[in-house]
Chains A and B, each alone.
Chain A
Amino acid sequence: MRMRVKLYGTLSQQFPDYRHSQGIEVEIADGATVKNLLALLEISESQGAVVAMEGRILKADDKMGCGAHVHVFQAIHGG
């Protein structure tokens, strides 16, 4: 399935052609998990990436839904 992913924090820096208005379009297998998505994007665990879909934060083993808006940002504490 294809999905559009938007990156926040400083994650977009590793994608030189990243345009925020468009995000990144990725092709991922049906039933793929959050972990699979981050691996595909080459975002490592140490980068503190958090994936949210439909207003909810997903766990590493949660399955990605089809056609959803996906936001990937980084862990941060309050300000």
Chain B
Amino acid sequence: MKFIRVNMNEQTINVEDVPQDYMGLGGRGLTSIMINKEVPPKCDPLGPDNKLIVAPGLLSGTSLVNTSRISIGAKSPLTGGIKESNAGGTVAAALGRLGITAIIVEGQAQEGDLSILRIDKEGEASLIPAQEYRAMRTYQFVEKILEAYGKKTAVLCIGPAGEYRMPLASIQTSDIDGRPCRAAGRGGLGAVMGAKGLKAVVVDQGGKRADAIADPKACNEAAKVLSKIIKEEFINVNMMAPLGTAALVAPVNSMGAFPSYNATKGVLEGWENIGGEAMAELIKKRGGNTTHMGCAQCVIHCSNIFVDEKGKYVTGSLEYETIWAMGGMTGIADLDTIARLDNLCDDIGVDTMSTGVAIAISMDAGHKKFGDGKAAIEMVEEIGKGTEFGRILGNGPAAIGKHFNHARVPVVKKQSVAAYDPRAMLGHGVTFATSPMGADHTAGNLVGLYLAQQLDPLKPEGQVEASRFIQTAMAAFDVTGLCFMASVALLTPEAGEAFLKVLNAKLGTQFGPDDFPGAMGIRVLKAEKEFNRRAGFTKEDDRLPRFYYEEPLPPHNTVFSITDEEIDSTFDF
């Protein structure tokens, strides 16, 4: 249990034991509570007072499967509020195996300096000059890093967009195959890393210094039970493995809730061409992989490898949200173009979601036509090249809306919405409006409840309560490093009990169901809300854009109908 504090001003590294205040925290819990405590809320997100915190989950590095989510937190240059964005891949497990609770990057390097933070298999950290990698795209960069430090190296890095300090910049992480195709995409954390003068964190995956487990036998036994449950869970086996998250394209379009053509329609013309079923068929026909293992210790295999007509790699894990942003919002119903856009975003280091939405806004404003794939690719290339237009686009959807004086800008706190229209799935509107992160589906996604018919997506009743429940649960699970697909398998009493056993056996605690997820989730959300309040946010910031209340969405032709008072009661803890 140690913190690695990196001072970019002095180029020094201090290793310290985890202070009492932060004990029992990991992932989002650690990043958010630390930001609230240590980062001045009104600081410049791209200045020296901001901190970039990289934290594996509490269970990363244990024997429990699917626990390699890495949380990255800072004050966001996109939203101006607190931000945690998490990603899969290999780096969380690698840090967990070294007993590293968090890396905290502080200060700011001298203008023009660029470094890599390397952590070897003994857990020793060092800063290495990285001028030779300046403005290098992520795929080429990671290839060079693996050549230099070995194939069993986990990489967390930024591309040119991060170095340009763009609010759309992501932080990419490497998957099992050493490709930088996983992203902590949201909130512009890549820009914070770039502003600090840090190109990458490079971690040896061979560490054997994981934290001591309070009761190793109980932990391993419960982890074994849970691993079996996660591996055999019905949706994971029947949907996630063969089709991945792209399986959502069919139900969400069938429910008229797939925001299309910059959120002017709820069904995309030609959506069947970009759904999970069509994608799996195409990948199989071309010799790609539909059941790819992307993250360390994964037993679900929801990832895929998308290849071109010649069978050559195009991108890794083409996901639902990217398919929506780059396909639905832009009207580009073509998987090859979407896959190319996904790869470009990963390579340049930008969030596929906010980037796709920014492109869609420009199309809606008449800059280019909906459906023009070539134009979309050129626009993303402009971000990579840092052209004047690319820099405007790289500032995000709100900035591009302002540039074109276009009012239909689907963002909350300047972060784009996700692939569920709030007019046809009301609860998502509650989550988008109230999440301290800005519009964010991972903060509290209700589509599973709608499909299970536990809640009517078009009726206001019950939406606030459901969003509150799921946002609280997600805030807690984001502490542990467990991926969302695995957390879904915990819905049975047996699985929930086994999960608490793992957690208690790891930490030596006596948590019950009230403590986790309930109390933990509330603690994290309260810290996040408090930071945003001190940064100047009010309840007026917890609102959807006006057009959601005024423009009916076909095919249901409904508007967002949850009142401001109801929205404001979401976090009445």
Q: Which residues of A contact B (CB under 8 A)?
A: 8-10, 12, 20, 46-48, 50, 52, 54-57, 59, 71, 73-79
Distance A12 CA – B424 CA, assembled complex (angstroms):
27
Docked-complex contact B484 and A78, CB < 8 angstroms = yes
Docked-complex contact A76 and B277, CB < 8 angstroms = no
9 closest pairs, A vs B, by CB?
A79-B245, A78-B445, A77-B448, A55-B256, A8-B250, A79-B320, A52-B254, A71-B254, A75-B451
Q: Other CB < 8 Å A-B pairs besides A57-B451, A79-B248, 15 of them?
A: A8-B247, A10-B242, A20-B277, A47-B238, A55-B266, A57-B450, A71-B250, A71-B254, A73-B251, A74-B238, A75-B451, A76-B240, A77-B445, A78-B248, A78-B447
SS class, residues of chain A in contact with chain B: loop
Measured between beta carbons, the chain B residues less than 8 angstroms from A20 are 272, 277
- Which one of A9, A50, A71, A77 lies within 8 Å of B488 (CB-CB)? A77
Given contacts A59-B453, A78-B248, contact A73 B243 (CB under 8 A): no
Docked-complex contact A9 and B243, CB < 8 angstroms = yes
Distance A56 CA – B488 CA, assembled complex (angstroms):
24
Measured between beta carbons, the chain A residues less than 8 angstroms from B488 are 77
Distance A27 CA – B525 CA, assembled complex (angstroms):
52
Distance A61 CA – B451 CA, assembled complex (angstroms):
16
Distance A52 CA – B258 CA, assembled complex (angstroms):
15
Docked-complex contact B275 and A46, CB < 8 angstroms = no
Given contacts A8-B275, A9-B250, A20-B272, contact A75 B452 (CB under 8 A): yes
Distance A47 CA – B485 CA, assembled complex (angstroms):
18
Docked-complex contact B251 and A78, CB < 8 angstroms = no
Given contacts A9-B247, A57-B451, contact A52 B275 (CB under 8 A): no
Given contacts A9-B243, A77-B235, A79-B319, contact A52 B448 (CB under 8 A): no
Can you list 17 A-B contacts (CB < 8 A)? A9-B247, A9-B276, A20-B272, A48-B234, A55-B424, A56-B458, A76-B239, A76-B240, A76-B448, A76-B451, A77-B235, A77-B447, A77-B448, A78-B248, A78-B484, A79-B244, A79-B321
Measured between beta carbons, the chain B residues less than 8 angstroms from A57 are 255, 450-451, 453
Distance A75 CA – B238 CA, assembled complex (angstroms):
10
Would you give the shortest CB distance from A61 to chain B, in whole angstroms? 11
Interface size on B, residues (CB 8 A): 44
Q: Mark B434-450, 1 if CB is under 8 A from A, else 0.
A: 00000001100111101
Q: Mark B53-75, 1 if CB is under 8 A from A, else 0.
A: 00000000000000000000000
Distance A73 CA – B447 CA, assembled complex (angstroms):
13
Would you give the shortest CB distance from B395 to chain A, in whole angstroms? 27
Distance A76 CA – B249 CA, assembled complex (angstroms):
11
Look across to chain A and name the residue whose beta carbon is closest to the beta carbon of B474: A78
Distance A43 CA – B442 CA, assembled complex (angstroms):
31
Measured between beta carbons, the chain A residues less than 8 angstroms from B320 are 79
Would you give the shortest CB distance from A76 to chain B, in whole angstroms? 5
Look across to chain A and name the residue whose beta carbon is closest to the beta carbon of B554: A55
Distance A10 CA – B246 CA, assembled complex (angstroms):
12
Q: Which of B243-274 contact A (CB under 8 A)?
A: 243-248, 250-251, 254-256, 266-267, 272
SS class, residues of chain B in contact with chain A: helix
Q: Mark B319-344, 1 if CB is under 8 A from A, else 0.
A: 11100000000000000000000000
Chain A CB within 8 A of B406 CB: no
Distance A52 CA – B321 CA, assembled complex (angstroms):
22
Q: Which of B234, B239, B247, B302 has the most CB of A within 10 A?
A: B239
Distance A65 CA – B242 CA, assembled complex (angstroms):
32
Distance A54 CA – B522 CA, assembled complex (angstroms):
39
Measured between beta carbons, the chain A residues less than 8 angstroms from B243 are 9-10
Look across to chain B and name the residue whose beta carbon is closest to the beta carbon of A55: B256
Would you give the shortest CB distance from A47 to chain B, in whole angstroms? 8
Docked-complex contact A55 and B255, CB < 8 angstroms = yes
Distance A20 CA – B254 CA, assembled complex (angstroms):
15
- Which one of B235, B266, B267, B458 lies within 8 Å of A76 (CB-CB)? B235
Distance A78 CA – B448 CA, assembled complex (angstroms):
6
Distance A20 CA – B351 CA, assembled complex (angstroms):
33
Chain A CB within 8 A of B129 CB: no
Measured between beta carbons, the chain A residues less than 8 angstroms from B441 are 78
Docked-complex contact A75 and B248, CB < 8 angstroms = no
Given contacts A10-B243, A52-B255, A55-B256, contact A75 B235 (CB under 8 A): yes
Would you give the shortest CB distance from B270 to chain A, in whole angstroms? 13
Would you give the shortest CB distance from A43 to chain B, in whole angstroms? 12
Chain A CB within 8 A of B536 CB: no
Measured between beta carbons, the chain A residues less than 8 angstroms from B321 are 79
Chain A CB within 8 A of B508 CB: no
Would you give the shortest CB distance from A46 to chain B, in whole angstroms? 7
- Which one of B239, B442, B556 lies within 8 Å of A74 (CB-CB)? B239
Measured between beta carbons, the chain A residues less than 8 angstroms from B484 are 77-79
Distance A56 CA – B457 CA, assembled complex (angstroms):
9
Q: Which of B412-450 contact A (CB under 8 A)?
A: 424, 441-442, 445-448, 450
Docked-complex contact A73 and B250, CB < 8 angstroms = yes
Would you give the shortest CB distance from A6 to chain B, in whole angstroms? 8
